[in-house]
Structure 1
């Protein structure tokens, strides 16, 4: 049986101060991992949130560039020490800039793959980002686009190459055009946007992704689950809402399929904001959605 190691990484440096820092505590309280029997206690990574600044760095054009670099270095070292064939890592954010600490750690063990579930492309250049928040440019950064300070932590740029990235569930294409973001469609990133998934169905989408993974070069993948990929009616507890999205049942089926490959080293969860979920109902639904795939995976290993 594979060993589950939970890592708490509640950084909001790539977004803004607020509820996403409570994501891990909220989901664990809602039952996440209750029947998964983690091998060891939760590892808590210092979040550096107390040093948050609302002013863009003049050199990088991003908010909190130095703080994110420092936090990412800490997280990178933590993840790298726990990555192994025997462990499955579950990293609880925070915002999705936590990928800047995870993917360099994956790169240390060879060319990785990234399964990126997100309603947004997260492909802005700092100058085009309407906010300067690294959470809206994290995929661009981990593929080597952006300021050297963030794209080359540990001298590992790019942390993942375009052809080894599969983006799942995007539905912000109109918004990215409005702000002039660089277009993810102009890259080698494999894309299954929401319109495509709705057209062919989640089962066919999952099969297509598994075929792509089978033919691709990475021996190990990371899943990044930004919870705003979930249908807005099922998960309204996110800071930047968009109508539509994938149903939780679809996410569950997809995760079961991805984990069945045996090629996934771990998963990160980000962006869920418990302060926007006063009854705790959304946290409970998310915890259930994640638990079944992880339970099946660990029983099969």
Structure 2
């Protein structure tokens, strides 16, 4: 795994239905993300925060809220993430709401095209984020990034990575899903996304789900993890705008992260939807940093 890490803050809630995710990057810094990672012998550069338009808090237009602002933020994210990858570094994007996954993953996909690598994306989330302007009940773009990455969305968003679609649905594994709109569910099936929802995890266990999600990774695979903090059960992580009961427990989430770390393939990371305005004494940020530490090799046992 790459030991040169770059932290990039994207302080916006432009794609969300609740204000507050714009404060996420600072909360993660307050929870000591930089010193924690440095404690594992990693070289960490904090690149500070990106700039973008303010949140005008308008109703949706043509099924999209704040489309122009979302495009601006995602372009900034795309360029920043791509620049770090080009320098041979491992970018960690601190969100911000999950609409930014579009800018981040389109940059990773572009980097993989340029370096002739395969891409595997783990989407850890309570939601499939596979809505379109026709399917969405809200118009909030944080419910659409996966669909946009697969080429289903407004022209200005799907083109950001320089290739449409930016990714193939076959490259994604969604884990922890438990809240999907009716039309979105049909679309997920149509596109044949691989989804390990909570029912699957309940029946088969997190270990089995992760073994399948990580199967066939090889030395030429770039592994990207897009971690929406609402992946976690709200008892563990109350500080998100879209809590859904019945998510992975703290231990299940730890196992998930440790198994990702064991592959040695992690090459980029998003940490999304942390909302300090809804948190309790920064507890969710601390849990998130704890789990990120496991992604970078903190292990509970003295494993030989």
Return the TM-score normalized by structure 1: 0.88
State the partner residue of 2:302: none
Alignment correspondent of 1:202: 206
The counterpart of 2:251, out of the listed 249, 252, 259, is 249
Contact 2:12 2:55 in 1 (8 A): no
SS where residue 271 of structure 2 aligns?
strand
Is 1:3 the equivalent of 2:4?
Answer: yes
> Residues 154, 232 of structure 1: CA spacing in aligned structure 2 closer, same or farther, 3 A cutoff?
closer
Runs (5+) with no aligned partner, structure 2: 300-304
Query: Which residue number corresponds to residue 187 of structure 1?
Result: 191
- What's the counterpart of residue 47 of structure 1? 52
Deviations along 1:38-83, whole A, 9 cap, x unmatched?
43233321132x253413233xx21111111122111111111101
Tell me the residue number matched to 2:33. 32
Alpha-carbon distance in structure 2 between the residues aligned to 1:152 and 1:182: 24
Residue number in structure 2 paired with 1:88: 90
* CA positional deviation for 1:85: 8.2
107-116 or 235-244: bigger deviation: 107-116
**Matched residue count:** 289
Distance 1:245 1:34, change over 3 A: same
Deviations along 1:117-175, one digit per CA (max 9) or x if unpaired, are: 110111111122111000111111111111212111243211210111111110014xx
> Aligned pair 1:293/2:295, yes or no?
yes
How many angstroms apart in 1 are the aligned matches of 2:216 and 2:46? 35
- Contact 1:63/1:133 (8 A) holds in 2: yes
Q: Which residue of 2 aligns with 1:116?
A: 123
- TM-score when normalising by structure 2: 0.87
Q: CA RMSD in A?
A: 2.2
Residue pair 2:122, 2:172 contacting (<8 A) in 1 also = yes
Alignment check: 8 A CA contact 1:249 1:289 kept: no
- Shift of the 154–203 alpha-carbon distance from structure 1 to 2, 3 Å rule, reads closer
Give the Cα–Cα distance (whole angstroms) in 2 for the partners of residues 242 and 228 of structure 1.
7
Cα 1:273–1:193 change in 2 (3 A) is: same
Unaligned runs of 5+ in 1: none
Q: Which moved more, 1:31-40 or 1:21-30?
A: 31-40
Q: Is the 8 A contact 1:114 1:160 kept in 2?
A: no
Task: Give 1:258 shift.
Answer: 1.6
- The alpha-carbon deviation at position 112 of structure 1 amounts to 2.8
Name whichever of 15-24 and 72-81 sits farther off: 15-24
Q: Distance in 1 between the 2:87 and 2:120 partners?
A: 16
Equivalent of residue 104 in structure 2, options 102, 120, 133: 102
Q: Secondary structure at the match of 2:8?
A: strand
Give matches, 1:163-182, under 5 Å: 163-173=170-180, 176-177=181-182, 182=186
